[in-house]
Amino acid sequence: MARKNILVIEDDAPIRRGVADALKFAGFTVFEAADGKTGLQSAIAADVDMVLLDIIMPGLDGFEVLAELRKVKPAVPVIMLTARGTENDRVRGLKGGADDYVVKPFGARELLARVEAVLRRSAERPEDVTVLQVAGRTVDLRRREIRHADGSRCELSEREADLIRYLAANSGRAIAREELLARVWGISGTVYTRTIDMTVARLRGKLGDDADCPRILITVRSKGYMLASNGPSA
């Protein structure tokens, strides 16, 4: 298996070296950057499989780096490293496209476990899928619409498009409600809400899926939701 390339963007030199050493010992190839501007340039130019990104840095902070990186490489996994573990910061990072958060101080074992978990989740993530073929329907995420075989169309809300995009990016596994809340809605922690179920119900209606026996947006008992087999067409 090819070695994974990980970029560490961290202005605190001892922390950066410690993280880099732990990753190298675990078998990763590591690149380092000491500030946001240099890190962003490296993330865009280099072939990286993941970015570990500090938040509080001089010049470009982590949120700004994340926003710019997502414009160019929307699929590269990003884990935020931060001394600020407030819910607002976590929500802001997740809404901006971060895959996970690690709050300082952290141990090497915890960091490596999170790195490996995110890499597993993103192993089959499409680089920039914008159009999907789902059970004979064309889902155009750029135009936020579903086109049926009979030529009819229906619009998707931004949240509906985000949900189907995330399910498609994780095709083949059931996604728990907690993960969907964190990654699509930007809500962390244990929250009881019918929002996901209602959004799924609306999507099923627009897809022409059978609400009583769905074959496109499938409910996996005790696990969550999964999108039926689909393929990118653009």
- Do 27 and 52 touch, CB atoms closer than 8 A? no
Q: What is the DSSP string of 194-219?
A: SHHHHHHHHHHHHHT--SSS-SSEEE
Share of the chain above pLDDT 90, in %: 38
Residue type, 182: A
pLDDT, greater one: 74 or 219: 219
- How far apart CA 156 and CA 6 sit, in angstroms, is 35
| Domain total in the chain | 2
Residue with tokens 């090497």: 108
pLDDT tens profile 28-66 = 999 999 999 999 999 988 889 999 999 999 889 999 999
User: Any idea of the CA torsion for 162, 53, 93, 50, to the nearest 10 degrees?
Assistant: 20
Q: Rounded to whole angstroms, what are the CA distances from 213 to 168, 204, 208, 218? A: 20, 11, 12, 8
Q: Which of 160, 173, 174, 171 is nearest to 205 (CA)?
A: 160
Structure tokens at 184: 């699509």
- The reply to whether 116 and 23 lie within a common domain is yes
- The helix-helix angle for 87-95 and 62-72 (nearest 10°) equals 20
Instruction: Answer whether residue 40 is part of any domain.
Output: yes
pLDDT band at 231 (very low <50, low <70, confident <90, very high): very low
Instruction: Please compute the mean of the pLDDT values over residues 105-118 and round it to a whole number.
Output: 92
CB neighbour burial string for 143-160, b if at least 16 within 10 angstroms, e if fewer: eeebeeeeeeeeebeeeb
Domain range for 50: 5-121
- Do 150 and 108 belong together in one domain? no
Mean pLDDT for 122-130 is 56
208 plus 108 within the same structural domain: no
Same domain, 9 and 97: yes
Lowest mean pLDDT among 10-19, 40-49, 119-128, 191-200: 119-128
- pLDDT of 126 higher than 50: no
Cβ neighbours of residue 141 closer than 8 Å, sequence gap 6 or more: 129, 130, 131, 132, 156, 161, 164, 165
In this model, does residue 75 exceed pLDDT 80? no
pLDDT at 9 > cutoff 80: yes
CATH number of the domain at 163, please: 1.10.10.10
Residues 95 and 200 placed together within one structural domain of the fold: no
Distance CA 199, CA 17 (A): 44
| 126 domain-assigned | no
Kindly state the tokens that stand for 118: 């995110």
Least confident of 110-119, 154-163, 196-205: 154-163
Global pTM value? 0.56
User: Tell me, what CATH number does 74's domain have?
Assistant: 3.40.50.2300
- What does residue 198 show for φ and ψ, rounded to 5 degrees? -70, -40
pLDDT grade for 157, boundaries at 50, 70 and 90: confident
As a whole number, the mean pLDDT across the chain is 84
Task: For residue 75, report the phi and psi dihedrals to the nearest 5 degrees.
Answer: -105, -10
SS3 123: coil
Please list, in sequence order, all residues whose beta carbon lies within 8 angstroms of the beta carbon of residue 54, skipping any fewer than 6 positions away: 9, 10, 11, 12, 15, 62, 80, 81, 82
pLDDT for residue 191: 54
Residue 158 has pLDDT above 90, yes or no: no
Residues 18 and 99 in one domain: yes
Q: Which of 63, 88, 121 is the last residue of a domain?
A: 121
